[in-house]
Amino acid sequence: MFQIFFPILTLFIIAAVTVIIMVFLPELLARKTKNRRKYSPYESGILPETDARDRFPVKFYIIAILFIVFDLEMAFLYPWAIILKKLGMFAFLEMLVFIGILLLGYLYIVIKGALKWE
């Protein structure tokens, strides 16, 4: 039993040591310089024009959610396309229904105007 799990234990030990080294070694070796610019919210050197806590319009979030939904749904097409020949005509018709539902959802959000920027 020990022979089976020894490589896994070794891998976990190496990973833990690597993480500890990567977390604590910069603390020991890095220079500690403090200045006002370093601790500013923007490290690019450009002064912010407005407050960082301003509210974003809801449209930004709607677009992000719609992108995630359609992107994840389209990710299902790749494994389906790989095994389409094995699945046969039934799987093809099921995917047409799936794409039809996605198309209806897309048409709905276009008609509602969720993708219009004003």
Q: Do residues 45 and 37 make contact, with C-beta atoms less than 8 angstroms apart?
A: yes
| The model's pTM | 0.47
How many residues make up the chain in this entry? 118
Distance CA 103, CA 74 (A): 11
Per-residue DSSP letter, 38? T
pLDDT for 52-105, tens place per residue?
677 877 778 888 888 888 888 878 888 888 888 898 899 899 989 988 988 898
